[in-house]
Chain A
Amino acid sequence: GAVVSQHPSRVICKSGTSVKIECRSLDFQATTMFWYRQFPKQSLMLMATSNEGSKATYEQGVEKDKFLINHASLTLSTLTVTSAHPEDSSFYICSADGDRFIPGAFFGQGTRLTVV
Chain B
Amino acid sequence: GQNIDQPTEMTATEGAIVQINCTYQTSGFNGLFWYQQHAGEAPTFLSYNVLDGLEEKGRFSSFLSRSKGYSYLLLKELQMKDSASYLCAVRDRDSWGKLQFGAGTQVVVTP
Contacts and interface: CB of A to CB of B under 8 A. Distances in A.
B12 interface: no
Interface residues of B, number: 22
Interface stretch (B40-48, B54-62, B67-75, B76-84): B40-48
Given A103-B96, A107-B42, A109-B42, A43 B101 contact: yes
Interface residues of A, number: 24
A45 B89 CA distance: 11
B48 A93 contact: no
A105 B87 contact: no
Contacts of B97: 32, 34, 49, 95, 97, 103-104
Contacts of A104: 31, 33, 89, 91, 97-99
A49 B98 contact: yes
Interface centre among A34, A104, A105, A110, by most B CB within 10 Å?
A104
Contact of B103 (A32, A42, A91, A108): A42
A43 B33 contact: no
A74 B38 CA distance: 29
A46 B43 contact: no
Given A43-B101, A103-B91, A103-B96, A110 B42 contact: yes
A102 B42 CA distance: 17
